Every structure is written in structure tokens, then in C-alpha cells.
Structure 1
Amino acid sequence: MSENAVAPVRAHQPPYYAVVFTSVRTGRDEDAYAETAARLGELVRDIPGFLGEDSAGAPGGLSVTVAYFRDLAGIERWRADAEHRAAKQRGRENWYERYTIHIAKVEHSHSFERAAQPASVSRLPR
């Protein structure tokens, strides 16, 4: 798999936590939204206990981001981060029609990845 390929966050040893953020955006100021989202993505990686995140969008505008944290202390650090808090306020004012946050404890986790297939070798008849 190439480094730029889409892949889910790998399974981690439970227990850990999943923060599920579902949203519908207004469509306003999308460039500023993208810039802020990229910045927040950089910031959250520095939070102790952050394990990764998965994001997806659906037709009709629903977006889902799941951020994984080792413990509740990491989630609280992220929630309290000043730059994150300011971005949340901008989101309520400009970018989100609605959103929901769910926090869940992960008690089971496993993953699957297809093994790479060797390149086929052509054999010419003798």
C-alpha cells in the first residue's frame, strides 16, 4: 500500500476511547474551514494519548470523524486546548449547520489487512 493510500487507523490494545464527531456543514468559507481543519489535525497529534483519526463524508453532506485516544485525560486535554476551543467557536458561528459528539470506550478492537500480492510473472512457451 502506498503512503498516500486511504487506510483506517490500526487496531489498538483496548481499552481506549473513540470520539465520534458527526456534522453537516453550512458550505460557507470552505477555504478557511480546510485551513483550520489541517491546523487542528497537526495540533491533535501532539496530545499525549492520541492514537489517530478516521474521517469520511457521505452524499448529502454528512461528515464523520472518529478520533481515538488512549484515555479520557487525552480527550480532556484536546477539549481544553485554546486553539481547538477557538476553532469550535468559529465552527458554530460559520461552518456547521449541526454536529454531534459521542465519546465511547472501546473494549474490543481488531483489524484486517490483505497481504500484498507478488507481481505476476509471464512465462513464454518454449
Structure 2
Amino acid sequence: MTQSLVGGFEPPYYTAVFTAIRPDAPEGYAETAATLHALVRDIPGFLGYESAGTPGGIGITVAYFRDLEGLTAWQHHPEHLEAKRRGRAEWYDSYRVHIGKVERTYGFDRDRD
């Protein structure tokens, strides 16, 4: 899970919201996730990601991209394609992907000095 929020970017930009239900700690999942998180950083237009999960196996990852070209490049990245294949075959009970265009963004940060 990420421990900080992705900063506000000047809209428009795009999100890929991945929600899934999976058993706890399936074999090979953590290693693959770490590899993918490192690889996506090299995709032109990648802005960052946030993820969270519940003890019951619901996970949510939101990836942010400057443009659809970057998001599409990630969608078709060979190692990402292999992870998606493995996810359907071994890891996930179900998942959904939602692609969105962000047109407005705002937030709040408490000063914790």
C-alpha cells in the first residue's frame, strides 16, 4: 500500500482504477506487483499511483497518466500483459478496470510540523 497521496496535477490527465478481489498473499503476486510498480515508472506520461487493500482481499490501485498514449503503452507493456494473464488464471476472484479523464482536482493537507 502507498503511504502518501499522489500530488495534484494540472488537468486534464487520466486515471486507470483497478479494483480486485483476491485471496490473501497468492504465490508470486507480491514479487510481480513490485516489478510492475518499478516498470510503470519508465512509461512516458506516467504520473504516479496510489493503492490500498483490505484484510478481506479487496484491493484498489489508481494509476495516473498525463495522456492516453502513456496509459495505452502501459496497457500493452509485455510484462503487464503477462501479469494480467496470470491474474486471471491464478490470483483474482474478480476485478474491474475503470478508465477516467480527470477534469478537476483539489485536496487538503494538514500541516504536521
Counterparts of residues 1-126 of structure 1 (less than 5 Å): 6-27=3-24, 29-30=26-27, 32-117=28-113
Counterpart residue identity of residue 36, structure 1: T
Q: Which shifted more, 101-110 or 58-67?
A: 58-67
Q: Please, what is the CA RMSD of the aligned residues? A: 1.5
1:59 is displaced (CA, Å) by 4.2
Q: Percent identity?
A: 54
Give TM-score scaled by structure 1 length.
Answer: 0.83
Tell me how many residue pairs correspond in the alignment: 112
Query: Are the aligned partners of 2:23 and 2:57 in contact in 1 as well (CA < 8 Å)?
Result: no
Q: Could you say what secondary structure the match of 1:109 adopts?
A: coil
Q: Could you say what secondary structure the match of 1:113 adopts?
A: coil
- Unpaired runs of at least 5, structure 2: none
Q: Would you identify which runs of 4 or more consecutive aligned residues in structure 1 move more than 4 Å?
A: none
In structure 2, C-alpha distance between the alignment counterparts of 1:58 and 1:28, rounded to whole Å: 12
Query: Are the aligned partners of 1:12 and 1:110 in contact in 2 as well (CA < 8 Å)?
Result: no
What CA deviation, in whole Å up to 9, does each residue of 1:3-61 have, x standing for no partner?
A: xx82110110000001000000134634x100000000000000000000010112422
Query: Are the aligned partners of 1:28 and 1:94 in contact in 2 as well (CA < 8 Å)?
Result: no
In structure 1, C-alpha distance between the alignment counterparts of 2:25 and 2:51, rounded to whole Å: 20
Give TM-score scaled by structure 2 length.
Answer: 0.92
- The structure with the largest alpha-carbon Rg is 1
In structure 2, C-alpha distance between the alignment counterparts of 1:28 and 1:59, rounded to whole Å: 11
Counterpart residue identity of residue 99, structure 1: Y
